[in-house]
Structure 1
Amino acid sequence: MLSHRAQILPASSTAALDAHIKSLLADGADIINLTGGELDFPTPQQATDGAHQAIDAGHTRYTAVAGLTELREAIAQRLNTHWGCAYDPAQIVTTNGAKQALAQLFTVLCEPGDEVLLQAPHWVSFPHMIRLAGATPVVIPTGDTGFKITPEQIQARLSPRTKVLLLNNPSNPTGLVYTERELRDLAALAVENGLTIVSDEIYGDLVHDGAIFTAVASLSEEIAAHTVTVAGFSKTYAMTGWRIGYAAAPLPVAKALSAVQGHTSSAPSSISQHAALAALAEDTDTELARRSRELGTRRTALRDGLNSLPPLRLAVEPQGGFFAFVDVSGLYRRPEDDAATIAQELLEQAGVAVMPGQDFAAPHHVRMSYAVSSSDISQALDRISTYLKTTTHRSTS
């Protein structure tokens, strides 16, 4: 009955684990949840007010498939003023979260059998989105290159079927931020070989300690003509449940993306769009800066705490987003152990929930979120410390 693509498609491991942990918490379990991909900050008040005002004004009907004109204008303006990207409102398509934008883009850009280059570790849904579109994910390991993809790695994997270079900056799960020079080198190779760059920049506003985020489409007009920028409101504005993302693309891609959306979901919720429009008002910038500083403080607390808990090893310094990427191989006791084994032990013996890295293509790492309170981070570190003191482990080295 099911198609082959449906039969091989697993459920989202991140969503499933987060739902499981929240269910345990609802039942009274004493767990500190470091699995989630959403900030604990509230949605900005003016975004909530914008939604209420939209309801009171009766803005509860369909909008244009690509979204409200005034919202697309505001997104284009913000991309220009904050990220240096020269987009026109006609190039913006709002979607039900950035995830929908990505999934639809692979449908728009790829023929069956086309190849999409992406790095590992990667966000769990990337390969599955690509396969659902009939394309083939070509995963490039980056453990030996500092968890960043290099032009040499791309060059070695180019084929006549290569169609898309998928980037994620800042990266989930590593938290790394590509430098402008690194992005220029990658983009130049993509342009030279006629590839479309799909750049997932959902964490672009959340960088720490002097790291500088560079949007790929800001590098040059030529690069922008080969680039689709994907972002949204879920992370920056703590609006995960509102489901508002967008793609900013060359006009032919934007038109095709809108056509696909018109035959599938239609436009995002009109109320959510009005909330997003209110969130983009300039007087939110001060609050966003405050939240970014708080997130940086939490990052430092988790980083420093993990560095004092060998044999856990922070794989890389988190520079953006809100995840720490942790090597747990030093905790293995049996040859069959992996990150899932350690994650299960941490849950059952320490009451700390972390995300195992198998579906990130990182079977010896876990992802820990610092999008939780400083108190939760401190308690989680204390619990992990107690767990390490009461459990005997061996190193695999």
Structure 2
Amino acid sequence: MIAERTKKVKPSPTLAVDSKAKELKAKGFDVVNFGVGEPDFDTPEHVKEAAIKAIRDGFTKYTPVGGIDELKEAIIDKLERDNGLKYGKENILVSCGAKHSLYNIAQALFGPGDEVMIPSPYWVSYPDQVLINDAQPVIVETYEEDNFMLQPEVLENKITPKTKALILNSPSNPTGFIYSKKVLEKVAEIALKHNIYIISDEIYEKLIYDDEKHISIASLGEEIKEKTIVVNGLSKSHAMTGWRIGYAAGPVEIIKTMTKIQSQSTSNPTSIAQKAAVAALSGPQDCVEKMRQEFERRRNYLVAGLNSIGGISCKMPKGAFYAFPNISKVLGKKVSNNQINSSMDLSIYLLEQAKVALVPGSAFGAEGYIRISYATSMENLSKGIERIRKALEELK
């Protein structure tokens, strides 16, 4: 028999959408894929060269479970340079992607009877990683009028004696919004008052627009730093999704426990990818800025296009590479036998009729919205906007 706990977990909706889009493409359909959260840029050349050198140098064996010292030092330098955070090597764990880092945290911290606060809209894996570790996700709603920012008083009202942690994601997937310093200070105050951990997912920190600033909650003081595990990686900032390098920085006891767990699951991250990550973090960063500027250009074009479509309204995201348009005015409409009663209905309709793949807001705990990734070409954005426009014009 399959383990009972696995029945609580759903497959990743975003990966399922991407898989369906690729399946249709393989059958010869021209599909515009707005579903996947993956930069369409190539990994920077200096990063690839570092990996090639590692192979040629025979750096192809096991490494220490938690990552090579050279990479830990590069991460320590990055965290101090970019975030004002000081850590030692004993505070760092390198894993097989930021998702793996988050899973290790869930394994190390959560158990039966624990509650974990998750603001919605949330990244799809947060609740399932809590559930598979026999803890209970507690969803804390946020609202468009607040730029989907967690309101501290709402958070405090949800906290119980069982509350173990809060998961924060800024910039956010799926909304693209960023937490202000003022709100982070209030959240930190509440976390310290109730002795709860903060898991701060900062994977999109390099993709920020309109001169906004990323602030890590761990940088707000030594007390909150000791209650925070910062998660980051190279996938989004350096177009390294397939290289699978993420990392966590936090209190020694937690990092030590996570490392022990990793030693019994994956062992070390790929040796070659670790050398590439050193080059990514320590080498020139102009490639990151070029990607950021292009994403900003695409964002502006996409949001303007979406807001020109009847039935859709979209606030301007401040980070990441997602738009999260409100489609509530479309709900209840129909064409032929297609009745659009939910974001899932609309997503299926657009995939089948317009050959546009996107993710329903319900996957992120936010009915009445859809997520569109603009990590694709301007040509695809233009084509996709027009296909969505025509498909929605058919609805009455």
TM-score bracket, normalised by the shorter chain, equals over 0.9
Kept in 2: contact 1:167–1:200 (CA 8 A): yes
* 1:69-103 deviations in Å (ceiling 9; x for gaps): 00010011011101221122221100010001111
Query: 2:108 is matched with which residue?
Result: 108
Query: 1: CA distance between counterparts of 2:219 and 2:371?
Result: 30
Secondary structure at the residue paired with 1:37? coil
Query: 2: CA distance between counterparts of 1:280 and 1:146?
Result: 31
Query: 1:336, CA displacement in angstroms?
Result: 6.5
User: Which segment drifts farther, 190-199 or 332-341?
Assistant: 332-341
1:321-340 matches, cutoff 5 A: 321-332=320-331, 333=333, 337-340=341-344
Return structure 1 stretches of 4+ with deviation > 3 angstroms. Answer: none
Query: 1:343 is matched with which residue?
Result: 347
Query: 2: CA distance between counterparts of 1:347 and 1:166?
Result: 32
Secondary structure at the residue paired with 2:28? coil
Query: 1:145, CA displacement in angstroms?
Result: 4.2
Secondary structure at the residue paired with 1:94? strand
Query: 2: CA distance between counterparts of 1:379 and 1:206?
Result: 24
2:382 pairs with 1:381: no
Query: 2: CA distance between counterparts of 1:74 and 1:158?
Result: 37
Query: 2:395 is matched with which residue?
Result: 392
**Which amino acid is the alignment partner of residue 352 of structure 2?**
E
TM-score, with structure 1 as normaliser: 0.96
* 1:292-332 deviations in Å (ceiling 9; x for gaps): 11110000000111111121111x32111000001122222
Query: 2:159 is matched with which residue?
Result: 158
Query: 1:250, CA displacement in angstroms?
Result: 1.1
Query: 1: CA distance between counterparts of 2:380 and 2:83?
Result: 33
Kept in 1: contact 2:350–2:388 (CA 8 A): yes
Query: 1:371 is matched with which residue?
Result: 375
**Which amino acid is the alignment partner of residue 139 of structure 1?**
I
2:276 pairs with 1:272: no
Query: 1:146, CA displacement in angstroms?
Result: 3.6
Structure 1: gaps of 5 or more residues? none
Query: 1: CA distance between counterparts of 2:86 and 2:293?
Result: 28
Query: 2:195 is matched with which residue?
Result: 194
Query: 2: CA distance between counterparts of 1:250 and 1:8?
Result: 30
- The CA RMSD measured in Å over matched residues stands at 1.3
Query: 1:170, CA displacement in angstroms?
Result: 0.6
Secondary structure at the residue paired with 2:346? helix
Secondary structure at the residue paired with 2:325? strand
Kept in 2: contact 1:86–1:218 (CA 8 A): no
Secondary structure at the residue paired with 2:21? helix
Query: 1:263 is matched with which residue?
Result: 264
**Which amino acid is the alignment partner of residue 58 of structure 1?**
G
Query: 2: CA distance between counterparts of 1:16 and 1:35?
Result: 9
The size of the alignment, in residue pairs, is 390
Structure 2: gaps of 5 or more residues? none
1:1-397 matches, cutoff 5 A: 1-143=1-143, 145-283=146-284, 285-314=285-314, 316-332=315-331, 333=333, 337-389=341-393, 391-393=394-396
Kept in 2: contact 1:322–1:370 (CA 8 A): yes
Kept in 1: contact 2:168–2:201 (CA 8 A): yes
Identity in percent: 39
TM-score, with structure 2 as normaliser: 0.96
